[in-house]
A and B are shown apart, each in its own frame.
Chain A
Amino acid sequence: MDFTVFAQQIANGLVNGMAYVLIATGLTLVFGVLRIVNFAHGEFYMLGAYLTYFAGTLLGLDYITAAVLGAVVVAALGVVANKLIFWPLRRDHEFTILLSSLGLALLIANSGELLFGADPKYVESPFADEILDIGTVTLTQQRVLVFAAAVAVLVAVYLFIRYSRFGKMMRATAQNPDGAALTGINIGLVHSYTFALACGLAALSGALVGPTVMIFPTIGNWAVLKGFIVVIMGGLGSVTGALFAGLLLGVIESLGGGYISLGFMEAIGYAMIIAVLLWRPNGLFSTARGLR
């Protein structure tokens, strides 16, 4: 086996995997705290990529500022979506909530097609074509940025959930919503901010991954699919589970595509879900009790 190619494939897989982790973290937070299986999560990823694009082309902002602005705006949109749709439905049947998240996904994707046009666009980043040689491994600066920014953001999110007062409120709400309410936690506020955080993370991943591919209004489907594979593998509601499952998926896809066949790459995700669910029905790192 050629070691250079092997190392390169591992590096490719880790970068892709870290992007999956960033997408899946928001999805798992929303499931853990709000008990919503949010099919619209991918659309917030799409909006993040598009807002970064428009902030760059229309407002003339540099890439980093545009990405941060995009994430903040999408987080605010998340607050609105939660207030209008999910908060009023919180006492309804799970199925109703599931359908309404599906409806929201279609609504955003279709409005995206009308507003942004069906033609693909490219998010300009100064790092996109700059090549870094790390030993025998070749990566673009953008891909290193995807990895590094994701690590930094995930560490910050982890510390926030673990040690901040609001993070404790989130965990309490995830572990026992009624108990949290009777402890004096403002559940509405926790839902609102958690949804905003999740949407912000989705948007940030869109902004980071954007310059490595092309964007078009239906990219949300891809994002939500990868997110769900990771979340189901890692255990619904588990943040650490998403981390390991995401990296694992990225690396296995890359090695499977590299050494077996590219045709398998997509199937690998589904095969892994089935294997994990047969072996550990609650996912690799399931807590079953919610956010740890």
Chain B
Amino acid sequence: MLGRRDLIAAAATLALAIPFVGPSAGALAQQPPIRIALIGPMSGTGAFEGQLGLEGAQAAAAIINAKGGVAGRKLELLNYDDKGSPEDGVSAAKRAIEQDNVDFIIGGWFSAVALSMKEVTRDKIITVMTSSQHPKVTEEGHKYLFRLNATSAMMSNFYSKAICGQIKPKSIAFMNVNDDWGRLELDNYTKLLGECGIEIKGHEFYNRTDTDFTTALTKLKALNPDAIYVAAINTSQGATIYRQVRQTGFRGKVIASAGNMNPKLVELSGNSLESVYSASPFVEDNGQPSMKPWLAEYRKSYKNEPSFIAALGAQGVELIAAGVAGTGGDPRAYDKIAAYLKANETPTVLGNVRFSDQGQATQPIHLVQVKSKQIVAVRD
């Protein structure tokens, strides 16, 4: 028999439930949301970058949802932690596909994770790889795979021209992270900068877990190069390196690897980033129609400054939305969506993005420099 307390509880539950059932029982609630898995480093040394990417994607999704979603369906973002490791990235992707039944995946912040994860998602689900620059990610051209960031080859083609033509150091030494990407950077730039007559003085590889770089920088400074090129993805390692470059007494030019300049890095590095160059697809005044609302939404919701990494998250969401909207609204029509994205230019916060048959994006790239602690585009 029901006691009086049970009756009151039941009544209260009903009273609470009614307003939710009432108005939202309209057309939108009938349509299930489009589920997008966001797989990124949410803990460990890459946690900050993962956080930025998540924020950028959420801001873009919020703007789209506020306008009524995509073909009447809301976007729902599900967040997974790959801890920056390939093993965790693979298990997160499996969980997203098998247990959570997501419609799309955005991920692949680190190259190592992207390379393992693409084997799990290949030909199963549309996967948008974000910041990883390793050429192998799109080399084989899986039919549902897209990668937003320029490859290191595209970046280095652009950047080496800028270094040779605009920065013009006489000699250079490299300070690169010891992983697939860092080694590839060294090969690319040794070749490209050597070709335009810059003397290559030497290089050091540091480890992804190092916190002190004085040993390596002491060696590089002793080579007496005109410029030091620093290849660092991780913001906290990068900031430490830029500070320690100056602290070891190096007074020459400093060149930051392409795609790795962001406001947080500038904030953390103090004066040591002043007049340092980089190349970036991200500049705030690029005139793209979706950039301004996204910047506003981002600054309203998050305390971090908008950055390239955050913009990649936003691009991933914009791309999926455009693909679904352009093909009639079925998020599982993967063949149609993939074909649509490869055939059409998609407008995004960073510019109009075109994809090759392998799923590799072509993005506009800009030479940037830190001036008075602001990242500004260098106009010719």
Contacts and interface: CB of A to CB of B under 8 A. Distances in A.
Interface in B201-242: 204-207, 209-212, 214-216, 218-219, 222, 235-237, 239-240
Contacts of B31: none
Nearest to B222: A5
Interface SS majority for chain B: helix
Interface string A93-125: 000000000000000000001000011111000
Most chain A beta carbons < 10 A, residue from B45, B205, B247, B267: B247
Given A2-B222, A265-B215, A214 B248 contact: no
Contacts of B216: 257, 262
B47 A118 contact: yes
Interface stretch (B114-122, B143-151, B268-276, B315-323): B268-276
A129 B42 CA distance: 31
Contacts, number: 103
Contact of B51 (A9, A119, A222, A265): A119
Instruction: Bin the interface of chain B by size.
Output: 35 or more
Given A119-B48, A214-B239, A140 B247 contact: yes
Contacts of B48: 118-120, 216
B304 interface: yes
Given A9-B218, A119-B264, A129-B247, A212 B207 contact: no
B165 interface: no
Nearest to B304: A119
A253 to B, nearest CB: 7
B207 A262 contact: yes
Nearest to B217: A12
B361 to A, nearest CB: 27
B270 A258 contact: no
Nearest to B215: A257
Given A4-B222, A5-B222, A9-B215, A129 B207 contact: no
B54 to A, nearest CB: 11
B22 interface: no
A265 B215 CA distance: 10
Nearest to B238: A214
B168 interface: no
**CB-based closest 8 A-B pairs:** A120-B236, A118-B47, A214-B236, A257-B215, A119-B48, A138-B249, A12-B214, A140-B247
Given A113-B43, A138-B249, A214-B268, A219 B215 contact: no
A212 B45 contact: no
Interface of A: 2, 4-5, 8-9, 12-13, 16, 113, 118-122, 128-129, 131, 133, 138, 140, 143, 212-214, 216, 218-219, 222, 253-254, 257-258, 262-263, 265-266
Contact of A263 (B43, B178, B214, B267): B178
Given A13-B215, A121-B268, 15 more contacts: A9-B218, A12-B215, A118-B42, A118-B48, A122-B268, A129-B247, A129-B272, A133-B249, A138-B249, A213-B240, A214-B236, A214-B239, A216-B236, A258-B219, A263-B178
B35 interface: no
Contact of B215 (A118, A218, A258): A258
B19 to A, nearest CB: 32
Nearest to A2: B222
A118 B43 contact: yes
B56 to A, nearest CB: 14
A262 B215 contact: yes
24 contacts: A9-B215, A13-B215, A113-B47, A118-B43, A119-B48, A119-B304, A120-B48, A120-B236, A120-B264, A121-B268, A122-B239, A122-B268, A212-B212, A212-B240, A213-B240, A214-B235, A214-B236, A222-B209, A222-B211, A257-B215, A258-B218, A262-B204, A265-B215, A266-B209
